[in-house]
Amino acid sequence: MAVLQFFLVFMSFKIWALFIFLLFLHSINISRKAHYLYKMILPIIGYGDPILRKVGEPITKEHPNLAQIIADMYETMYNASGVGLAAPQVALPIRLFVIDTSPFGTDEDLSAEEQKQLANFKQTFINAQMILEDGEEWGFNEGCLSIPEVREDVYRNERITIEFYDEDFNKKTEVYDGLIARVIQHEYDHIEGILFTDKISSLKKRLIKKKLSNIMEGKTRPDYKMKFCAKKTSR
């Protein structure tokens, strides 16, 4: 009888332990889902807003809600089908941008090696400083999430050396080339208050003047949320 009682108590303990363990796993799952749902899709600032012309301020590791800002920027970039997004484009005048070049990983115009490299490149850049831009200049048709429906050929150096902190505030100095370098150069320009349209000829600037005016007035319909200079409203 005593053996039976011991067995029943033992089994009861195991059942309760299993129940508590399952509750623990469930709580972790809920927490992960809550964290995912907490990510926000932010409105992207349209051409003409003065914040796009500000030089970004350096930040510290203790910058308020930094991890959340980075997560929201990635979410906003993915929602807009972009490969890069800088903090000024979401109304934050700080030296921060995020990049994920994986969409280029399926571009059949690129070599298999380039596709693989681009498919696996994702990086957060904090307080970036361009050390060197070298190599031959080459042209590529660029666009910008802040300037929808406008694309122009832009010439940039093929290779860069850049110093930055990653999202864990580890300091790095890296050399990049090709499309990765170009995307970084484009986003780096944003934290310097420069847009890709600044790099095109005077003739091309005149040709796109009406398109830029329409963007400022909110007369454009991208499939992502934007905030326009003249309207000051979100779509």
3-class SS letters over the chain: CHHHHHHHHHHHHHHHHHHHHHHHHHHHHHHHHHHHHHCCCCCEECCCCHHHHCCCECCCCCCCCHHHHHHHHHHHHHHCCCCEEEHHHHCCCECEEEEECHHHHHCCCCCHHHHHHHHCCEEEEEEEEEEEEEEEEEEEEEEECCEEEEEEEEEEEEEEEEEEECCCCCEEEEEEEHHHHHHHHHHHHHHCCCCHHHHCCHHHHHHCHHHHHHHHCCCCCCCCCEECCCCCCEC
Q: Among residues 65, 69, 103, which one has the least CA distance to residue 84?
A: 103
Q: Among residues 75, 54, 67, 55, which one has the least CA distance to residue 127?
A: 55
Catalytic residue among 133, 167, 187, 217: 187
Max mean pLDDT range (6-15, 23-32, 50-59):
50-59
Look at 63-67, 105-109, 123-127, 196-200 and tell me which has the smallest mean pLDDT: 105-109
* Band (30; pLDDT cuts 50, 70, 90): very low
For the chain, the structural domain boundaries read 1-38, 41-227
Share of the chain above pLDDT 90, in %: 79
| pLDDT tens track for 168-195 | 999 999 999 999 999 999 999 999 999 9
| pLDDT tens track for 133-173 | 999 999 999 999 999 999 999 999 999 999 999 999 999 99
* 217 flagged as catalytic: no
| pLDDT tens track for 68-88 | 999 999 999 999 999 999 999
Q: State which amino acid sits at residue 229.
A: C
Q: What is the pLDDT of residue 145?
A: 98
Tokens found for residue 230: 């003249």
| pLDDT tens track for 88-125 | 999 999 999 999 999 999 998 899 999 999 999 999 99
Q: What is the pLDDT of residue 8?
A: 47
**Does residue 11 or residue 100 have the better pLDDT?**
100
* Band (32; pLDDT cuts 50, 70, 90): very low
**pTM for the whole structure:** 0.82
* Band (10; pLDDT cuts 50, 70, 90): very low
Tokens found for residue 132: 């060197």
- CATH number among 3.90.1150.10, 3.70.10.10, 3.90.45.10, 3.30.413.10, domain 41-227: 3.90.45.10
Q: What is the pLDDT of residue 37?
A: 45
Residue 233 pLDDT > 70: no
d(CA 141, CA 81): 16
**Mean pLDDT to the nearest integer, 17-40:** 51
CB atoms inside a 10 Å sphere around CB 21: 10
